[in-house]
Structure formats: structure tokens, C-alpha cells
């Protein structure tokens, strides 16, 4: 796990704020769903979850797991070709956003992304790297990397999430050495 540090060094260089990540290994789609359900249980209205990673990494699958934790059937959460924002009614309203087809933050801003992200429900954002400057600084980050075949590394940072310790405990079997 990386340490969190930020500030200005003696030589005047600004250290970028490094978030503290929880590193998980998923070995199957079922693992990724289980991790997502556990995180979903810790989310609160207003939370924004930024999902990073390439095509096929598992972002949409993760959204299905979060949706399940909020009482939404996984087959309602899709990756439609042209829909950018989809609202779902769950125990908490869920806004599923996929900005893959947008050029970038400016275009997202033009369609009202700031307002959408500041809504009362939970927001999930696929391809978050494309709209980084519009995301709240305290957003929850979920970063996917391919480890080969069905294995994925999932790094999660949730600086201000009160339920994060409980999530950490519930995901122990996916942690290194867990
Ligand atoms: P994205 O939204 O990131 O483009 P999807 O969630 O739509 O990705 O697709 C992920 C694909 O990878 C699915 O077909 C899923 O079955 C497959 N897959 C294989 N192993 C995993 C894993 N460990 N976690 C997530 N998806 C996996
Ligand atoms: Mg997707």
C-alpha cells in the first residue's frame, strides 16, 4: 500500500498528493462483482465513484455489483453505445455515467456534468480519466489493470468514506496475502 503524503519539499518542489490505495486482486468476474457489492454497501447518497481502466477491464461489471448492493437488478446496468447518463431507482438513486464517447471534460461540462455529479444519489463514472477536472476531489477512485486472462488488479482509494474500514475487512480475501 502506498503512503499518503503531500506538501512542499525543502527545495520548493510540490509533492503531488498521493492517495492511499487498497490493492485487490480479482481472479474472475464473480470476484469483481463481490468486491463491487462490498463497496456498494458502504456508499452514501452524494458519493461519486470514478472508474478508470481500459476497455474490457471490468468497469461496467463493477457498476452492476454496486447496483446490486443498492437493490438494482444487474441486467438493468448496461454499456449502451450512445447513452452517456442513465438513472436507476434503487434504495439510493444511482446515476451510471459512461463518458467514453465524449471528447473530454469541456464537452462533459457543456452537457451539464457538474450538476449531474453533484446530485443526491450515487454516481458511477466510467472512463473517469476523460473528465478528471470535473470530478470532486474527494471522489472514490477505482482503478482497473489487466493481470492476464481473467485476473484484474483493482486499486481503490476512498479518502473520506466512513464505511471504508468495513469494506477493507469485507474484502480481505482479495488483498495481497489475504
Ligand atoms: P469495461 O466496462 O471496463 O469496458 P466490462 O465490465 O464491460 O468492461 O467487461 C469486462 C469483461 O471482462 C467481461 O466480459 C467480463 O466477463 C470479463 N472479465 C474476465 N475476468 C474479469 C474480472 N476478473 N473482472 C471483471 N471482468 C472480467
Ligand atoms: Mg463499460
Ligand 1 site, residue 153, Cβ cutoff 6 A: no
Planar angle of CA 76, 30, 2, nearest 5 degrees: 105
pLDDT at 11 over 60: no
- 178 has pLDDT over 90: no
Q: So what's the pLDDT on residue 13?
A: 52
Residue 143 pairs with which residues in a beta bridge?
52, 155
Q: Ligand 1 pocket: which of 34, 58, 86 to mutate (most atoms <8 Å of CB)?
A: 58
Q: Which residue has the higher pLDDT, 170 or 4?
A: 170
- Would you place residue 129 in the very low, low, confident or very high pLDDT band (cuts 50, 70, 90)? very high
Q: How many CA atoms lie within 13 A of 13 on its CB side?
A: 3
Query: Which of 126, 146, 148, 147 is closest to 135 using CA atoms?
Result: 126
Ligand 1 contacts CB of residue 53 (under 6 A): yes
Strands 140-148, 14-15: pairing is unpaired
3-class SS of residue 122: strand
Per the model's pLDDT, the better-predicted residue between 161 and 19 turns out to be 161
Residue 1 pLDDT: 42
Average pLDDT over residues 123-133: 98
pLDDT of residue 3: 42
Mean pLDDT across 12-36: 84
Question: How confident is the model at residue 149, as a pLDDT?
Answer: 96
What is the distance of C-alpha 74 from the center of its chain?
17
pTM over 0.75: yes
Q: Is the pLDDT of residue 147 over 80?
A: yes
Mean pLDDT of 92-102: 97
**Whole-angstrom distance, CA of residue 156 vs CA of residue 141:** 6
Cα of 31 to ligand 1 centre, how many Å? 11
Amino acid at each position: 500500500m502506498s503512503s499518503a503524503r503531500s506538501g512542499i519539499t525543502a527545495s520548493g518542489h510540490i509533492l503531488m498528493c498521493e492517495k492511499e490505495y487498497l490493492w485487490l486482486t480479482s481472479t474472475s468476474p464473480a470476484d469483481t462483482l463481490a468486491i463491487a457489492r462490498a463497496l456498494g454497501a458502504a456508499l452514501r447518497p452524494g458519493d461519486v465513484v470514478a472508474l478508470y481502466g481500459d476497455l474490457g477491464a471490468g468497469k461496467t461489471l463493477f457498476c452492476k455489483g454496486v447496483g446490486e448492493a443498492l437493490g438494482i437488478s444487474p441486467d438493468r446496468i448496461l454499456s449502451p453505445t450512445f447513452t452517456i447518463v442513465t438513472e436507476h431507482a434503487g434504495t439510493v438513486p444511482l446515476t451510471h455515467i459512461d463518458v467514453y464517447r465524449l471528447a473530454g471534460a469541456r464537452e462533459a461540462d457543456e452537457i451539464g456534468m457538474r450538476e449531474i455529479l453533484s446530485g443526491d444519489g450515487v454516481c458511477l463514472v466510467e472512463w473517469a480519466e476523460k473528465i478528471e477536472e470535473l470530478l470532486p476531489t474527494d471522489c472514490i477512485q477505482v482503478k482497473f489493470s489487466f493481470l492476464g486472462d481473467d485476473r484484474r488488479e483493482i486499486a481503490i482509494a476512498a479518502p473520506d468514506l466512513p464505511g471504508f474500514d468495513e469494506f477493507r475487512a469485507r474484502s480481505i480475501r482479495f488483498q495481497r496475502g489475504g
